[in-house]
């Protein structure tokens, strides 16, 4: 047994030195204090990383199919009234959403940006007193009102009971209304007068679009849109204006739901128009993103990058449709963010590395200083130090 204990003592990698042979120095005390502080700071840093989740990023090919893309927006036009502002969306598959009104809200703004009125888009119209019937006579008290669509009826029994109905019927036919005053519904609702009354006003339009997950565009522009010879056209004649100020501020624009750390580069962007009219274009590259938090909850969303371009036109020469256009395309690469905690063994390994590394380096530094001082002192004693 004694032989076994002796062999174990021979394996001791940490031989002990009698305290009588210890030599304590001032430099050693300073180094010990400094190394202890460094070890404490590194330990606290490692502990913070251990207690908080870290995010791992990966790039994978996006293999998703048949999904939709949600576009959230909040845009303010400082000089474009709500009554003439419309929103259209279309994609390369051929699907079109013209003059979108569902899930859209508009706020009328005065010249100082204060809210005049807030309402969902496309709801409500002034009541028409004694309107003109489709057959030409005036509405009697015992009749049901059925207004004329002025040749734009899709069927004989169709009725257009408001100016908006007539404009919508014309849009479906691909026609433009050159003079709203000849339309009984528009004249009685004061369509042109309302546009004149709102002159100088702005509009804050916000809401969301649900579109196919393919490349496409959506745009804010004056007038109702329609297709004419397979060309996207906006009816601007009804407003009797030569120029449109499309100065705007993007309060918020995102593709999909919010997730921690997302940066939307267009949030808060403001652009002021210098020319009488023009087309402002944003070209957006959408990157599909999946965020998984530490509890396993997954958020399917998107990030995007953007470039921009402006095409200006002169007064009375509308070469380009005045408006703000957002052209978006989808990246084939998906980014995944995964939150996870560092394992305790990893934390323990790093702590041991910190303690051992700092202890070793401080020991080398102390030995270098000690032997250096000793060598200098010896040379001074024999008079060879200069």
- pLDDT (tens digit, 9 = 90+) per residue, 42-92? 999 988 888 888 888 999 999 888 789 999 999 999 988 888 888 999 999
Of all residues in the chain, what percent carry a pLDDT higher than 90? 30
Mean pLDDT of 346-350: 89
Of residues 160 and 284, the one with the higher pLDDT is 284
- 155-211 pLDDT tens trace: 777 888 777 788 778 777 777 776 777 777 777 776 666 777 777 788 999 999 999
Q: Which of 32, 3, 14, 22 is nearest to 361 (CA)?
A: 32
Least confident piece of the model among 6-20, 91-105, 144-158, 349-363: 6-20
Please give the Cα distance from 18 to 345 (Å, whole number): 36
Q: What is the pTM of this model?
A: 0.68
The yes-or-no verdict on residue 325 having pLDDT over 80 is yes
The DSSP H or E segment spanning 371 is helix 344-381
- Is residue 227 predicted with pLDDT exceeding 60? yes
Residue 310 lies in a domain: no
pLDDT above 80 for 263: yes
**Rounded distance, CA 101 to CA 120, Å?**
8
Q: Do the Cβ atoms of 68 and 209 come closer than 8 Å? A: no
- Pick the more confident residue, 166 or 257: 257
Residue 252, domain member (yes or no): no
- Judge whether 259 lies within some domain: no
Where is the domain boundary, 199, 222, 248?
199
Residue that is last in its domain, among 199, 214, 237: 199
The answer as to whether 107 is a domain residue is no
Tell me which residue of 168, 247, 145 sits closest to 200, measured CA to CA.
Answer: 247
* Residue 317 lies inside a defined structural domain of this protein: no
Task: State which of 153, 183, 199 marks the end of a domain.
Answer: 199
The total of structural domains in the chain comes to 2
Please tell me the least confidently modeled range out of 106-120, 168-182, 228-242: 228-242
177 inside domain: yes
Strand partners, 117: 108
In a domain, 165, yes or no: yes
pLDDT score of 386: 58
In a domain, 32, yes or no: yes
CB 252 within 8 A of CB 267: yes
What is the pLDDT, as a whole number, of residue 298?
92
Query: pLDDT band at residue 125, thresholds of 50, 70 and 90?
Result: very low
Domain that holds residue 173: 130-199
């Amino acid at each position: 047994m004694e032989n076994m204990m002796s062999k174990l003592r021979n394996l001791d990698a940490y031989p002990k030195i009698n305290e009588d042979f210890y030599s304590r120095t001032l430099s050693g005390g300073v180094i010990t204090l400094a190394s202890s502080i460094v070890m404490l700071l590194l330990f606290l840093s490692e502990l913070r990383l251990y207690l908080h989740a870290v995010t791992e990023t990966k790039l994978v090919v996006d293999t998703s199919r048949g999904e939709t893309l949600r576009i959230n927006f909040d845009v303010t036009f400082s000089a474009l009234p709500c009554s003439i502002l419309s929103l259209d969306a279309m994609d390369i598959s051929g699907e079109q959403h013209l003059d979108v009104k569902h899930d859209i809200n508009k706020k009328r703004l005065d010249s100082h940006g204060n809210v005049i009125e807030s309402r969902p888009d496309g709801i409500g119209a002034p009541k028409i007193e004694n309107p003109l019937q489709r057959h030409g006579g005036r509405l009697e008290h015992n009749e049901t009102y059925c207004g004329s669509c002025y040749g734009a009826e899709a069927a004989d029994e169709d009725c257009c009971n408001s100016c908006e109905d007539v404009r919508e019927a014309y849009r479906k036919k691909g026609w433009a209304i050159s003079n709203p005053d000849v339309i009984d519904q528009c004249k009685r609702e004061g369509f042109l007068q309302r546009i004149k009354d709102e002159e100088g006003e702005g509009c804050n339009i916000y809401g969301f679009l649900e579109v196919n997950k393919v490349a496409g565009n959506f745009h804010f522009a004056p007038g109702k849109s329609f297709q004419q010879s397979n060309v996207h056209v906006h009816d601007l004649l009804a407003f009797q204006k030569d120029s449109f100020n499309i100065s705007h501020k993007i309060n918020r624009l995102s593709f999909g739901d919010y997730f921690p750390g997302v940066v939307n580069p267009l949030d808060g962007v403001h652009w002021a128009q210098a020319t009488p009219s023009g087309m402002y274009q944003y070209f957006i590259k959408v990157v599909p993103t999946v965020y998984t938090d530490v509890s396993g909850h997954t958020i399917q969303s998107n990030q995007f990058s953007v470039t921009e371009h402006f095409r200006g036109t002169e007064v009375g020469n509308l070469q380009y449709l005045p408006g703000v256009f957002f052209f978006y395309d989808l990246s084939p690469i998906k980014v995944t963010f995964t939150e996870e905690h560092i394992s305790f063994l990893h934390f323990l390994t790093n702590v041991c590395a910190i303690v051992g590394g700092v202890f070793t380096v401080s020991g080398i530094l102390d030995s270098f200083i000690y032997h250096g001082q000793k060598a200098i002192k010896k040379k001074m004693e024999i008079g060879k130090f200069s």
